[in-house]
Amino acid sequence: MRTPTLQYLYLQKPVSMIIVICIISVLPWLGLHELDMPAQSECALTANTMLQTGEWILPQISGGEISYDHPMLHWLIVLFSYGQGYVSKLTLQLPGALAFIVMMATSLIFFGRRTKFHEAFISTLFLITCSGMQNLSAASSGDLLFATFLFVALTQLYRWEENYELKGIPVEISLLLSAAILTKGLMGVILPLIAFTAYLFVVRKHPAGVILKAMFYLFVSSLFLPALWYVSIWKQGGTDLLLDVMRTEFSYFWGTGADVHNVLYVFPALAIGFLPWIVFFFFSLFGIKWEKHTVCCTGVKLFSLVSMVVLLASYAVMPVKRASFLLPIYPFITIFLAQYALYITEYRTWCTRLFAIFLTVAVVCGLLLALFPSGWSPFHAFTLNLRTGLLLGFTFAMLGTVYYQLFKRINIKILYATIALAFSVNLLVNAAEII
């Protein structure tokens, strides 16, 4: 009997399947959105100046102003734009989209080899379809690129301890941390090393001296490439400009302006970022029986928990906060959400069906308000064309799939159908925003 294509991909080519889903999720919409953020326009101007003048360190943008932003994102944009000779909206957003794909694939591979693969797969699907990741995958290329460098570096740090017990200096980790520094500054090496050091002290597998020495060597080796950029700035702009750059490096701790928020900002930001799945877990709290259970949190689960807590605490104490700063934490949260979702699906069957019904009703109401808007409707009407027509058809097909699975009463299939519905809605929203 011939195995269905989707089942074959899941069983034999799960990473390829996730990559295909990511490509469909982000790549078709690149270059179609307007540059509605000042930071994107400035980034495009800086990258275009680099491309036209060949000045890769301190390009002079309009008015003779020198741009000394961290250059990694600009360099990648220039690299992708080199063939066509100019910076376009597509090449401007391409680094963030590729970073999104790399983060998803890394998450599946890393967790899939160390936990139940079913958990890792659903965790990655949650990550792809949550609103925070979808909204920021193209709009905040720099933040997503930084988050990917941090997350991949943390996974490689865990692998280094797991396989080599902190011996040697892993070149790939040094390069990842160097790239993170060149993307957003010294926080790119400080945050992952603090998180990993905290994990090593929690597991108490190595002496404190060995841990601190290994982290020190890794910290120093990660500064070699960024040091070349800092020295180039000093040679071209002098000590004053270098001090301005260093002042910007640590502006996270005394920031001013609209991005300054209190500690409580991170919690609603995370809740909004994990829509619609936060509603699913909210439903599961009703009727729950609080009993004492022995929870085993070791290995990669303990590493994820420590990394999540340390990164979250670090962002909480910094005065400068944006929702995009929380992106490196998302994969560590979704692995626990996937474990809980599978538990709910197996032991609290009504919750999975209730959420599927809720999401179906919400999507139908949203489609009606978008297709037939009124004066009080919060939705903007979108023009029907071939693209939106196909995606509308796909969304209706997913609605039908959820409806069908509700009658079949196989809860894991209801969960997958709900994830597919959320994915189709994300595609439709992306298509509607470009019109």
Q: Tell which residue, 429, 434, 432, 426, has the closest CA to residue 25.
A: 426
| Same domain (yes/no): 255, 153 | yes
Most confident of 28-42, 60-74, 134-148, 387-401: 387-401
Over 90: is that where the pLDDT of 136 sits? no
| Same domain (yes/no): 27, 154 | yes
Q: Tell which residue, 194, 101, 81, has the closest CA to residue 147.
A: 101
Domain that holds residue 352: 348-435
| Same domain (yes/no): 234, 355 | no
Does a structural domain hold residue 184?
yes
Residues of the chain above pLDDT 90, percent: 44
Q: Cis omega (within 30 of 0) on the bond before 276?
A: yes
| Amino acid sitting at position 34 | E
When divided into structural domains, the chain yields a total of: 2
- What is the average pLDDT across 318-340? 88
Q: What is the pLDDT of residue 87?
A: 87
| Same domain (yes/no): 86, 217 | yes
The residue among 231, 263, 295 that closes a domain is 263
Mean pLDDT of the chain: 85
pLDDT band at residue 214 using 50, 70 and 90 as cut-offs: very high
Most confident of 42-51, 327-336, 365-374: 327-336
Most confident of 248-252, 297-301, 423-427: 423-427
The count of residues in the chain is 435
Straight-line distance from the first to the last Cα atom of the chain, in angstroms, rounded to the nearest whole number: 44
Residues of the chain above pLDDT 70, percent: 86
pLDDT band at residue 435 using 50, 70 and 90 as cut-offs: very low
Look up residue 373 and give its DSSP letter. Answer: -
Question: Please, is 145 exposed, middle or buried when counting C-beta atoms within 10 Å of its C-beta (0-12, 13-18, 19+)?
Answer: buried
DSSP 30-76: TTTS---SHHHHHHHHHHHHHHHH---SS-B-GGGPBP-S--HHHHH
Pick left, alpha or beta for residue 361 (phi over 0 → left; psi -120 to 50 → alpha; otherwise beta).
alpha
Q: Tell which residue, 242, 271, 248, 270, has the closest CA to residue 320.
A: 248
Over 80: is that where the pLDDT of 382 sits? no
Task: State the Cα–Cα distance between residues 372 and 374, nearest whole angstrom.
Answer: 7
| Same domain (yes/no): 101, 212 | yes
The residue among 263, 281, 308 that closes a domain is 263
Pick left, alpha or beta for residue 87 (phi over 0 → left; psi -120 to 50 → alpha; otherwise beta).
beta
The residue among 228, 263, 298 that closes a domain is 263
pLDDT band at residue 10 using 50, 70 and 90 as cut-offs: low
